[in-house]
Amino acid sequence: MRCLRIVAAGILFLALLGEADVRQCICDAARPETMQSRECGLCRAADAEPPGPEFFAIRDANPSKPNRWLELPRFHGRNPQDLAGMTAAQRAAYWTAAIAKARELWGDGWGLAVNSLENRSQCHMHIHIGKLPAGAEDSRFVEVATPADIPLPRQDDGIWVHPVAGKLHVHYGDDSPELLLER
């Protein structure tokens, strides 16, 4: 019976991942009627923010992630919005803002994650901010010196970043790296 529950939970998890694909999102900030679907929730959150910095952090609304935050751009991009649609200067500022929030929350124990478009439940660009558990490090990374040096994710891949000895390790090869962060 326990085995059947585990299999059922695994099937449900895979089914939910299949529904997370936002590559066909049609929301358009200029047409509010297109932004009512679930995957446009962060678009609506960005529009609701008062004027201010180009990027902002909000708590993750998912109750199963009580310690998770999201860093969002205030602006909209092409659908679905991704890092490749930003200029190099915007990406550097975005990563810098996310790292600042992560350090504020977790000191040097932070991790940032961006899921692949196939495994995102929101079309608006967002970086997951959380605590990186011990032992999460693997060998699939490049080391960079600054947020401006963080490369774009490879096509159909996620990316996760964390600090190591004054540098940043940028990991690839996981399309849902937010699952590595503590909830």
Q: Pick from 68, 72, 77: which is nearest to 102 by CA? A: 68
Range(s) of the domain holding residue 31: 2-180
CATH number at 18 reads 3.30.428
Q: Tell me the C-alpha distance between 42 and 59, whole Å.
A: 11
Q: Are residues 160 and 114 in contact, defined by beta-carbon separation less than 8 angstroms?
A: yes
Which three-class secondary structure state does DSSP give residue 11? helix
Q: Are residues 24 and 37 in contact, defined by beta-carbon separation less than 8 angstroms?
A: no
Per-residue pLDDT of the chain (183 residues; tens, 9 = 90+): 333 333 333 333 333 334 456 767 878 878 888 888 888 999 999 999 999 999 999 999 999 999 999 999 999 988 789 999 999 999 999 999 999 999 999 999 999 999 999 999 999 999 999 999 999 999 999 999 999 999 999 988 999 999 999 999 999 999 999 999 999
Q: Tell me the C-alpha distance between 110 and 122, whole Å.
A: 22
Q: Tell me the C-alpha distance between 145 and 40, whole Å.
A: 34
The predicted model scores a pTM of 0.86
Number of domains in the chain: 1
